[in-house]
Structure 1
Amino acid sequence: MKRKERARKLRRSGYRVLQWFFTVFFLALAALMVAKMGTDGPNGAPLGLTAIFGTIFVEQRILRSRIILSPGDVQVVNAIFEYHVEPGAIKEAFVDIRGNMKIEARDGSEIFVAAYSGSLIDSFVGSADRAAKVVRNHVAGKAAVSDFVIRRKCAVSWLSEIWLVAAVACAVWAAINNS
């Protein structure tokens, strides 16, 4: 009996560490700000909390980018958009001269992979090259598909959206305090 193949996530390990480090750092900064400024008064803590929670939202969206390889789908999750491509529709996974990983479909279209965008450290470590090789190995041997659709939709990251809701709530709180 053949075992069902599990989905595999490709994500830089440094992103995970940075994501939680910056989140904790900004939350500590928010707690310090509330302790020093108080919660009432014009442009006090509510306005600062709006900025901090908005920053955490953006940071979480960027650092949660990844590639998910499953048997019937290659999913590229960037900060804003999420792409779904059949493995047989992928012509090549490569790293360009700037160190950015891209996936080229058989129709010539390219998908930018934000999880492995070029960085100075990556030019020495080579994580983008290794990720491109893993994607190439995943699609190797899959039957070429000529009739395919690259599905693009807005990426949803519930953990990130929580911070956006918190930022909006603090903005409303700041607006109420200033009126």
Structure 2
Amino acid sequence: MATPVQRTVTAEWWERLVARLIEALVFGVFYYILFIALWSFFRSVGLLGVFDEGRLPGVFAWLGAGLAYTVYDCVSHSRGGRTFGQAIMRIRVVPADGAVVTTRGLLKRALLYPGPTMLMGIPVLNVLAPMVAFGVGMLILMDRPLLRGPHDRLAGTRVVKDQRESGSAG
């Protein structure tokens, strides 16, 4: 008997957005905790006013939280094919067109999105980083029917809905 071909259904744009918003909420809390800790540290050692009126803690907090989010994104996708936000939304990252997804490809994917969050604390770049994220989102919407963003194309991936268990025992 031939093995049935599993058909994948592309995840909707709003499912991807909600998954990222869930993760952004968690990493936002991490950022604020890191910011408060760094602000207290820089204040205690007398460095708070050294760099542009106290922006140094924000730069390091965004860099730390953005780096943590980027590493988390890459590791989660290389181990289980999804992040916790994607697990909640029942979507996952899979190879596109039968390609093999490498850890290197997933790292490139994570550096393109959500990687720019590392730059959010740096003046001027803090304007460009959200524009990159917005542009990635717009390109996802324009790519029909697979809804692949530049980060998906770079890694050779696509985001699909989980397969529903259907069938009868017999």
Q: Which category of TM-score, normalised to the shorter sequence, fits these structures?
A: 0.3 to 0.5
Structure with bigger strand share is 1
Larger radius of gyration: 1
- TM norm structure 1: 0.33
- TM norm structure 2: 0.34
